[in-house]
């Protein structure tokens, strides 16, 4: 029984060393720089909230640009102007 535990521990140790060596050979991923926001806030026409322009959903209707915080707000606004 002790021999079995010995061999199991030896096999686990060999596996751990192998994983460590393989991990050293991998290229390290460089973290992406955070997205810079312009600081421009736009108003959602459906729910009257302000959101960063870069994150807004944009819709152009009859030459006028509208911004929305979500697809649901965009859909509500489009349903409202169709009536």
Domains of the chain: 41-82 (2.30.170)
- Least confident segment among 20-24, 44-48, 57-61: 20-24
The answer on pLDDT for 37 being more than 70 is no
pTM over 0.95: no
What average pLDDT score do residues 41-61 get? Answer: 91
The reported pLDDT for the residue numbered 47 is 93
| Per-chain mean pLDDT for the chain | 87
The reported pLDDT for the residue numbered 66 is 93
The reported pLDDT for the residue numbered 19 is 87
From the CB of residue 57, how many other CB atoms can be counted at a distance below 10 Å?
Answer: 14
3-state secondary structure of 47: coil
């Amino acid at each position: 029984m002790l021999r079995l535990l010995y061999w199991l521990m030896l096999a686990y140790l060999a596996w751990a060393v192998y994983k460590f060596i393989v991990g050293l050979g991998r290229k390290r991923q460089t973290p992406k720089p955070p997205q810079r926001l312009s600081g421009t806030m736009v108003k959602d026409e459906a729910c009257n909230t302000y959101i960063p322009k870069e994150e807004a959903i944009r819709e152009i209707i009859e030459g006028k640009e509208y911004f929305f915080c979500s697809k649901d707000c965009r859909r509500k606004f489009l349903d409202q102007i169709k009536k």
